[in-house]
Structure 1
């Protein structure tokens, strides 16, 4: 009877072990890695959104040396997709779990007090700040000013996100310990690659956020780099990387989209999924 119990226990243990492994591609080829049971509870998450480039325009491109250097230190998703076209509904989707019926770049998109990540964090006693480059003043609600466009600033569309959470990128702290729990960053219309080349956005990312990316690795923090949409194709595949603490660098074939990324951020802070993010599992394969 004793040996039967030992054998049965061994079968159970083997089954449990099998249940927590998946296959993904890393930089040296296919590998089997353990999957984390939860998303790490990060101190800070910074997400930066670039514009209108398909995955193949960034991945391996000589015009994007920093994107690819950063990817080699990161979890790179080879099956990451935007939700729709054009730009604005993708920003809204990532922030609120839904396009909220928005299907154009028309401004303003006033969405009232519908659920969104900023309001979730604030209700949980956490801090959210959106940083927009070239916005003329903190709390600005206008549609356009120079190279700033409100269509790329989703948090200003919701009345339950205070104006104090809407800041210029010039306010982004150099002391990263002073960052909010979650920060969204929007480069201006040139630096996000909308009006300028890939090389411009590549230099901007290196100059503005590499210091944070390297700091995040040893300070329980995360940098998410992604795109709003591709170059208006039906595939809508985009370049997305996670860089920072607890990340297992490699190329991951998980099929993800903006709702998956939102759900992962929510899970890090113990928040429930909202909208279409509620139907997504947090991304778990990339954590060590």
Structure 2
């Protein structure tokens, strides 16, 4: 039942893929279906096994909305967290606003998206989900105030919330749901859950290894402020980073989707926390990273295939790279430039730009090429937008 609902909504959005590609804020009428919610809960995956990673076995990614680096660095709650981890001082978002940055984190490209409108990328666009399946790494995305598993509506207000108030849940900040390769597969879309499921599964001892955790639109700062977002992050993370039992072989990545200011470098405050050697706690890492590094670090840690997109050449977090030996390349960003703040034209914003084809010959940070299923999907393609080849 749930599969047919998800597909029907994706098909509705897919109608917008014909030229011109003008995506709209679609809210499916009457989509909230308690029966569907109950039905899909019976298919929840049980995370019984653990795949050993090179540095850590569990990676949790907590993404807040927007803040300029200097403002975040001055926040007392974030300063308290930074004392327990490594601050990445040369980390950049990819563009503005939030949604294309999320696509980049899990799909390896922004696909030219320049707004937070409703999008549904076609089934031949892969995500980290396909990479995880290669090594049977269990993954999940948890979004606060998402009404039920695999919900793919545009937004959701919890019961009793005034209609003129901001919705607590927004599809634009729920990255995997934007890909039909996820939403057309039961074994994938059952991993898109509410934050309540996170606490339930953690208590039961059956929790995935790779997580993306999203606060609601109040707690992430988008409909509040930096102080609210920072306090939420600290309250969420402190119980884990204060207990060796809780952080053992876990890496927590706390970042922002993009900077608040659009006419300046898109540098965002990013912390690595968890199983950090004591000598590295309270330190900084000035290597260049961006949101594509989330994908490249993931595939490096778990020896996964690459997406064959920007993850193929993106730097791996140095803490992890000590175990992986990927060839990181540093760069210095001119503070007077609008680096990564531009809204670049691409497939989702121009009918004249073709759908970018992954590079099937690129070996990523996990020392592997694209997954077999991805190679079969694109085997007849003769040209890739991503022409680089990474060397170790």
Question: What range is the shorter-chain TM-score in?
Answer: 0.7 to 0.9
The answer on 1:56 being equivalent to 2:70 is: yes
Question: For residues 269 and 179 of structure 2, what CA distance do their matches in structure 1 show?
Answer: 27
Tell me how far apart the structure 2 counterparts of residues 116 and 221 of structure 1 sit (CA, whole Å).
22
Distance 1:230 1:176 in 2: 37
TM-score (norm 1): 0.80
Of residues 220, 232, 253, the one that matches 1:224 is: 253
8 Å contact from structure 1 (residues 85, 232) kept in 2: no
The answer as to 2:259 corresponding to 1:240 is: no
1:170 aligns with 2:204: no
The structure whose RCO (Cα within 8 Å, separation 6+) is larger is 1
Pairwise CA distance, 1:76: 0.4
Q: Residue 116 of structure 1: which of 124, 127, 130 is its match?
A: 127
Question: 1:282 is matched with which residue?
Answer: 316
Considering only aligned residues, what root-mean-square deviation do their CA atoms show, in Å? 2.1
In the other structure, the counterpart of 2:288 is 255
Give unpaired runs (5+ residues) of structure 2: 1-52, 158-167, 183-187, 324-392
Return the structure number with greater strand share: 1
Between the aligned partners of 1:268 and 1:176, the Cα distance in structure 2 is 26
Q: Does 1:85 align with 2:96?
A: yes
Unaligned stretches of 5+ residues in structure 1? 1-38
Please list, as runs of the form range in 1=range in 2, the aligned pairs for 1:10-89 lying within 5 A after superposition. 40-61=54-75, 65-89=76-100
Instruction: Map 1:104-183 to 2 at 5 A.
Output: 104-146=115-157, 147-161=168-182, 162-173=188-199, 174-175=202-203, 177-183=205-211
Per the alignment, residue 333 of structure 2 pairs with none
- What corresponds to 1:189 in structure 2? 217
Q: 1:36-79, CA deviations, whole angstroms, 9 ceiling, x for partnerless residues?
A: xxx84422111010011111111022xxx221111111110111
Aligned counterparts of 2:80 and 2:306: Cα–Cα separation in 1: 32
What is the CA–CA distance in structure 2 between the aligned matches of 1:251 and 1:42, rounded to whole Å? Answer: 20
Count of matched residue pairs: 247
- Show the counterpart of 1:9: none
Would you say the 8 A contact 2:240–2:274 is kept in 1? no
TM-score (norm 2): 0.59
Cα distance in 1 for residues equivalent to 2:101 and 2:289: 14
- Sort the Cα spacing of 1:77 and 1:46 in 2 relative to 1 into closer, same or farther, 3 A: same
**SS in structure 2 at match of 1:228:** strand
